[in-house]
Structures are given as C-alpha cells and as structure tokens.
Amino acid sequence: IGALLLPHCGRRRRTNPHMRAFWGATLAFTFAFIGWFAFAPLLPVVRVDLGLCDNNAALQLLPEDKRVDACVCKKECKSTIASANIAAVSFDVGTRFVLGSVIEK
C-alpha cells in the first residue's frame, strides 16, 4: 500500500497474540494521549460554550466569533475548572485500579 504500513494482527485469536496486544496498547496510549492533551488548547472555547465565564450574561449579547476573546475568567471560573481537573484525574486513577484488576484475571 505504498508508504502506509499496516500491522498484521492475524485473523484468528491464536494468530500472533503478542503483536495484537502490542498494537492495541500502542493505539490505546496514542488515543489517550491525544484526548488528554488536546483539551488544554480548547479550554477558552469550551469555557465560553459551557457558560463558565464570569461575564457570561454580557457574552450572550456578543456575536459568536467575539465571545472567546471577551471571556473574563476570574476566581469562580478558575475554581470550576480546577474542580473539573481534579475530578478527571480522580476518575482516571479509579478506572486504572478497576480495569487493572479486571485485566489481570
């Protein structure tokens, strides 16, 4: 297929199980990495869409393309974002413990 190399994972479960596990883990890590770190650059847009800005009432009067620049994020907004980050990390740790015990069986 030219420069695109596709991993051979096999057609059956017993065919090449180690490479299937390797590529599955590699893809899972890649998607997790992208999903985790892609959120930070999008945070200004997300906080406007969720209505977390301290001047949310004034933002509703502005056109859609001007809202991100006019958003003011002070103590309450930053507190909500920090709580969401703590919840995300806590959920991640809990999920790792639960799925780790399931996978080891």
pLDDT in tens, 15-67: 677 777 788 888 888 888 887 788 888 888 989 998 999 998 998 999 988 99
Q: Say if 31 falls within a structural domain.
A: no
Q: Say if 91 falls within a structural domain.
A: yes
Tell me the C-alpha to C-alpha distance, in Å, between residue 67 and each of 34, 42, 49, 52. 26, 14, 9, 12
Q: Say if 100 falls within a structural domain.
A: yes
* pTM, full prediction: 0.58
Q: Report the alpha-carbon angle 83-86-87, nearest 5.
A: 85
Structural domains in the chain (count): 1
Q: Say if 59 falls within a structural domain.
A: yes
